[in-house]
Amino acid sequence: MEQIGTGRVRTGVFGWGVVAPKSPNVEAFERNLGTAGTWLQPFNGFGPDNFLVGVPEFRLDDYREWINARFAPRHFQNLKEKMDMPALYAIGAFIQALGQNPGLEAELRDLGTQAQVYVGTGLGSLDTINQASIGLYVAQRKWDRFWANPERNSVLRDYLALCEAGADVPPAPETVPFDDRDAATDAWAKYWTAISLELRSYLDELAEIEGLVVDGDVEMAKKGAIREKEKRRNRLQEKWGAPEVPWKVSANVIWNIHNTPAAQISILGKIHGLAFAPVAACSTFGVALKLAMNAIQSGEAKLVVVGATDPPPHPLTVGSFHSARVLAADGKLSAPLTKLQGTHVAGGSVVWIVGDMDYCLSKGFKPLGMEPLAVGVSSDAHHIITPSSEGPTIAMRKALADAGAEPADMGSWDLHATATPGDFSEVETFRTIFPESVLVTARKGTFGHGMSAGGGWELTAQYLGFGRGELFPTTLPEADLNASIAGVHSRMMFNTGCEAPKGLGGKLSMGIGGVNACVISGPLDKGE
């Protein structure tokens, strides 16, 4: 075996942080991994329901002192008011990651563009979008009904006076069946609002107000124009007695786009290199690590913050996962490799700080866990959600080749394993490459399925275990191993821990859309 370190720039992990179910930080995460129990809990997001989910344990206030020591007090409050949970989870994990090696924060700041940030999210800021969408819907209904009131709509008054139904006019709400009346009321109000002469007069006045320009000194004039516009808008609302305009949507919608967690980390860490969000569903963390290793090996970066972050379980995701027929819904734990009745939605974050091994060692930084040797990535080019065998095989063989490793060099392997029928296919594909001797783990029964963070949690669990010379237990009792899967590969990590096997560690993630990322890692040199 010729490892990737030979003749190439090596990569090390020098900091990590975790926000996960039952685990507000990486120390709690490591302690909890020592037990075989699940960290999931009832959802009840639809009122009573039958879903188990992984709700992150997190308090932004735990990081108040750190943030206040570096920014004006208002900065912390702005984060609380404007940021959705994916950004806040990533912030917490990043601050944790700085703690393993004193001096990392200063080094990230001083490296200029050679310090970079690749932190993605699988699902984005669902709650911000959901709340803004509900608010828009409610405001639009009030708005339409206000301008469709005959007292404020002369066109409608004239129409009603004729007592004749127009060809293009929607049916009056009172004329439709009761179950359809709500939708009919919306359609009726929308129609008359669109042709309201009074609304056109209102909008003309509003356009004149919005046409106020910034003149003179930009900063002073800008503030004056904002104040004047607001004053005149308020007078216009009073004149017409109108409700709030529906387009007054929370600016948090644009403050919480997919690159926001990466951007916030760059702001907090004063990191001036590239900061962006790789988005690869369940393979996000592996893809981020791949990009970081490429940047380090090319010399573009000395340190890279990589990570993945997801919102807490939300009715939108729980419901859509269930509709996709991949979610357990009987109120009981569905452990991977067992009865295959579906996975469990979870939220949280994982952030690593990785760097040029030799450079970081020269700075006195100590590497953690294992050494990432290679990441193989591929696409299935097959199906939006059903994995192929070809795509993961390409990723696994690519990772082995780049690591200079053979299948027999593997000691342990962590599956993507979602407790669906795909587990059987994944194990079958795994065995086309790797021997029976490899000890296999599957951990989504422990903390659930974080859309982007899950693969990072699994990889962190692998690294933490190897750092201690052991493999942490899973939630899988030996007696519950699915018989079909056992017939393909029976050497599984069950609900009792064991010594870490000799050899390399592997980890496969398979994302929605068929994006695969396979990470091959080796033990650290004891001298490092």
Q: Which residue ranges make up each domain of the chain? A: 11-125+256-523, 129-240
Q: What is the largest CA-CA distance in the chain?
A: 93
Do 192 and 155 touch, CB atoms closer than 8 A? yes
Candidates 153, 244, 168; CA nearest to 199 is 153
What is the distance between the alpha carbons of residues 346 and 447, in angstroms, rounded to a whole number? 7
- C-alpha distances out from residue 243 to 140, 240, 247, 253, Å: 10, 9, 12, 22
* Phi-psi domain of 281 (left: phi exceeds 0; alpha: psi -120 through 50; beta: other): left
What is the distance between the alpha carbons of residues 147 and 154, in angstroms, rounded to a whole number? 10
Residue 378 is given by DSSP the state: E
In this prediction, residue 4 carries a pLDDT of: 44
Provide the residue type at 247 as one letter: W
Question: H or E stretch including 516?
Answer: strand 515-523
How remote is the C-alpha of 422 from its chain's centroid? 22
Q: In what order do the strands lie in the sheet with 275-276?
A: 11-19, 348-356, 303-310, 115-120, 275-276
For 11-125+256-523, the fitting CATH number among 3.40.47.10, 3.40.630.40, 3.30.70.3000, 3.30.43.10 is: 3.40.47.10
Do 28 and 21 touch, CB atoms closer than 8 A? no
In this prediction, residue 23 carries a pLDDT of: 98
Bridge partner list, 371: 522
The phi, psi pair for 13, rounded to 5°, reads -100, 125
Do 492 and 335 touch, CB atoms closer than 8 A? no
Candidates 76, 95, 186, 84; CA nearest to 132 is 84
Candidates 518, 70, 11; CA nearest to 267 is 70
In this prediction, residue 219 carries a pLDDT of: 67
Bridge partner list, 374: 520
Provide the residue type at 105 as one letter: E
The angle that helices 154-162 and 197-210 make with each other, rounded to 10 degrees, is 170
Mean per-residue pLDDT pooled into runs of 10, the chain (528 residues): 60 98 98 96 96 98 98 96 98 98 98 98 95 97 97 94 78 93 96 96 95 70 79 93 95 97 98 98 98 98 98 97 96 96 97 98 98 97 89 98 98 97 97 98 97 97 96 96 97 94 97 96 85
Chain position carrying tokens 């996962």: 321
In this prediction, residue 220 carries a pLDDT of: 62
Per 3-state DSSP, the chain is made up of helix, strand and coil in percentages (nearest 5) of 45, 15, 35
In this prediction, residue 27 carries a pLDDT of: 98
Residues 6+ apart with CB under 8 A from 134: none
Candidates 262, 269, 307; CA nearest to 105 is 269
Candidates 293, 304, 205, 186; CA nearest to 518 is 293
Do 294 and 374 touch, CB atoms closer than 8 A? no
What is the distance between the alpha carbons of residues 230 and 209, in angstroms, rounded to a whole number? 9
Do 376 and 326 touch, CB atoms closer than 8 A? no
- Predicted TM-score (pTM) of the model is 0.95
